[in-house]
Amino acid sequence: MNPSKKDFRLKFSAGAVLASLALFMLARAALFLLNGAYFSSLSRGEILSGFLNGLRFDYYMVALLTGPVLFFLNLPVKARAWVKTWVCVWAAEFIFMAGFLIADLIYFPKVNRHIAEEILQLSNDWGFIVSYIFTETWLPLAILLSLFGIFVWQLGRYVNRRYQARAWSWKKETVTGLLILLLIFLGIRGHLGSGKALGVADAYKYVSSPAGSALVLNGVFTSYQIGRKGAVEVSNKYPQDKALLYAKEQLVSADEAVLDEKFPLMRKRTSSVVSSPKYNVVVVLLEGWHPYYVDALSHNGFGATPVFDEIVKNGVNFSNAYATGQRSIFGFSAVFAGVPLVPGLPMFGYGLELTAFSPMPKHFADKGYYTFFAQTSKRDSYRLCTLASYLGAQESYGWEDIPERLEYQEKAPFGYDYDAFMFAADKIKNRKEPNFLAMLFTGITHEPFTSTLPQFDKHPYDSWEHGFLNTLSFADWSIGELINRAKKDGWFDDTVFVFVADHVSGGKKDPSLKNRFRIPLVFYAPKILKPAQIDYVVSQLDIVPTLYRLTGLNPAYTSFGRDLFEKDAPRAALVSEGMNIGLVTEQGAMRHSGGKILSVEKFSPDFDERETENKLLALDKAAYTLLKENRWYNPAYGEKK
């Protein structure tokens, strides 16, 4: 009896999508079962959330890879060869996804995360890969290829026996095609609202731990997200063991002990910690502030920062402080996570968060602090709200959440500092917890510059510098209003304010590392810290250890810096400029490609070029190794109170 023939393309398409999703779900179940110890810290609710929310990330890849194939399959082409071709292409994609997920299952236990930036290195290792496949994994490869051959053969037979072209109207064909395109679009977007398409960092909207994110994500998704950023080349050949030993000597204080040699920079104080008052903390990340425009720091007479000039005068001013990079996300990761920018690795928010970080806000929350993050920009700007949640902030807010409080002359593209500060002050005033950690990120000084209030338009908007100075004046006034609220609401005296720029903007036309990376950094707490100016080299990376000591917290943590007030500590600031790295010391500064010295700046006659190069390469290699191999921080120690 001959089977009835009909056009099965729509049913096949639905089945193909369901089969692909089932494949990803099966891989997730296998990942969970094969790595039970890693996922043991997850609650039943977190496990269920991982499986359910993981479907969004699975469907992203199904829509991206399978969607176009199914669209072409369903075009109004009646030829059997056309249908057979696209059915076989889907089969090839399905086998590819299966093979990749198997590879991810094999790789995951080695570093406790999915395949990510490793995909970028394949082009440099094709010889090794081909040799490995045909010598070490020839049997799985042969089985996979055999299954693929049988699969394609059976699909071809099915098309020959069952397919018959449909006779639809052009309207029905058009609606079908548009519907498929809509489903592809929604799958890749990952949501119905505005904002960026689904990214790796979005996994932390549903989970709060590396194990939870690993369950939500899949290796195909992470590899695509990292791979599409483009290939990178790492040329630092400094010996790994030597680099790790040097970094440990430079960054671990004498009263700290490393808890696990597999994580050589994860440490905890061993000396008895004197119980000190639990100070509140407000960290203000200043968008693009350059010391050049702050009169108290550069004495250039711009007159734009009278409030901040007083803060510098009455606070602890670190006059030789440096940013790690030249973008906001790099300042965010350095200030709030103690993580440097390392060429050759994805940036925070675009894959680096697959590595477990030391969660500074969580450490404060565990000790009873109310912790929150608020930025003037929209929530998905650099995914900072999501990343703050990843680090353990209990709440995170963006422009969408912050009410506009004044009648501004123009709409600012990145929000208003005053509004964010008043919003934060309200959150602090209405808190239930006795102490708080507030993490704030400003934005009015980000170009394009817009007019805020008439009294701050001291210059015409006829140049970059004039526009910046106008918005800087508003930003400075806004800081003063935050301080006034703190005094009025009664939390000024027991609060440590940290004012630090995320990176610099403008300044002199000087290509030196000092001009391109030196930033304002002031600890302001007149009732707690005596005014002082500290001139040795420090970095954004030193803030996390400093906050722990100031507040009396003693968690197991990892940071690529050390306490700012540790006077006799070895000092250097690691910076990154594109794919190049740099180091600033008290004696001089150096740019390096990882393979050779690019430039040298001598501040004193005793600058040792060879010693500086070794120090730079060692620190860069140590950071790269620990982040790449997921040896930065062990979350298991974070559970130990």
287 is in an annotated binding site: yes
- Do residues 385 and 439 lie in contact, with contact meaning Cβ atoms separated by under 8 Å? no
Is there a single domain that holds both residue 466 and residue 330? Answer: yes
Is there a single domain that holds both residue 223 and residue 285? Answer: no
pLDDT at 232 over 50: no
- Give me the pLDDT at residue 2, please: 52
502 is in an annotated binding site: yes
Q: What is the pLDDT of residues 130-183, one digit of tens each?
A: 655 665 566 777 777 787 788 778 877 877 777 777 778 888 888 988 999 999
- What residues make up the domain containing 129? 9-227
Is 564 inside a domain boundary? yes
Is 561 inside a domain boundary? yes
Residue type, 300: N
Distance of alpha carbon 545 from alpha carbon 253, whole angstroms? 10
Lowest model confidence (mean pLDDT) among 4-13, 475-484, 609-618: 4-13
Is there a single domain that holds both residue 395 and residue 532? Answer: yes
Lowest model confidence (mean pLDDT) among 44-48, 466-470, 618-622: 44-48
Q: What is the pLDDT of residues 59-105, one digit of tens each?
A: 999 999 999 999 998 888 888 888 888 888 988 899 889 989 988 89
- Give me the pLDDT at residue 106, please: 84
- Which of 514, 547, 568 is at the close of a domain? 568
- Which of 202, 227, 252 is at the close of a domain? 227
**Domain CATH code at residue 334:** 3.40.720.10
Distance of alpha carbon 612 from alpha carbon 589, whole angstroms? 8
Mean pLDDT of the chain: 89
Distance of alpha carbon 622 from alpha carbon 236, whole angstroms? 11
Is 265 inside a domain boundary? no
- Give me the pLDDT at residue 509, please: 81
Where does residue 29 rank: exposed (0-12), middle (13-18), buried (19+ CB within 10 A)?
A: exposed
Is there a single domain that holds both residue 284 and residue 213? Answer: no
Is there a single domain that holds both residue 379 and residue 526? Answer: yes
Which two tokens mark 621?
A: 């290699």
Distance of alpha carbon 196 from alpha carbon 349, whole angstroms? 12
Distance of alpha carbon 50 from alpha carbon 519, whole angstroms? 41
Is 4 inside a domain boundary? no
- Give me the pLDDT at residue 1, please: 43
Q: What is the pLDDT of residues 252-280, one digit of tens each?
A: 999 999 999 999 999 999 976 655 668 99
pLDDT at 120 over 60: no
Residue type, 18: L
Is there a single domain that holds both residue 355 and residue 449? Answer: yes
Is there a single domain that holds both residue 111 and residue 46? Answer: yes
Is 417 inside a domain boundary? yes
Distance of alpha carbon 246 from alpha carbon 240, whole angstroms? 10
Which DSSP state fits 593?
A: -
Quote the strand ranges of 388-457, DSSP E. Answer: 395-397, 435-441
Among 234, 208, 204, residue whose Cα is nearest residue 117? 234
Is there a single domain that holds both residue 222 and residue 330? Answer: no
Where does residue 490 rank: exposed (0-12), middle (13-18), buried (19+ CB within 10 A)?
A: exposed
Is there a single domain that holds both residue 290 and residue 206? Answer: no
| Angle at alpha carbon of residue 555, lines to 549 and 558, rounded to 5° | 90
| Angle at alpha carbon of residue 230, lines to 228 and 231, rounded to 5° | 130
What is the percentage of the chain residues whose pLDDT exceeds 90?
65
Lowest model confidence (mean pLDDT) among 114-123, 245-254, 295-304, 374-383: 114-123
pLDDT at 230 over 60: no
Is there a single domain that holds both residue 185 and residue 283? Answer: no
- Give me the pLDDT at residue 503, please: 95
Is 478 inside a domain boundary? yes
Q: What is the pLDDT of residues 453-496, one digit of tens each?
A: 999 999 999 999 999 999 999 999 999 999 999 999 999 999 99
pLDDT band at 563 (very low <50, low <70, confident <90, very high): very high
Is 597 inside a domain boundary? no
503 is in an annotated binding site: yes
Q: Report the catalytic residues.
A: 328
pLDDT at 335 over 70: yes
Is there a single domain that holds both residue 222 and residue 297? Answer: no
Is 368 inside a domain boundary? yes
List all residues 6 or more positions away from 298 whose beta carbon is below 8 Å from its beta carbon.
Answer: 291, 292
Number of domains in the chain: 2
- Which of 518, 553, 568 is at the close of a domain? 568
Distance of alpha carbon 227 from alpha carbon 223, whole angstroms? 6
* pTM exceeding the 0.85 threshold for the entire prediction: no
- Give me the pLDDT at residue 134, please: 60
Is there a single domain that holds both residue 88 and residue 189? Answer: yes
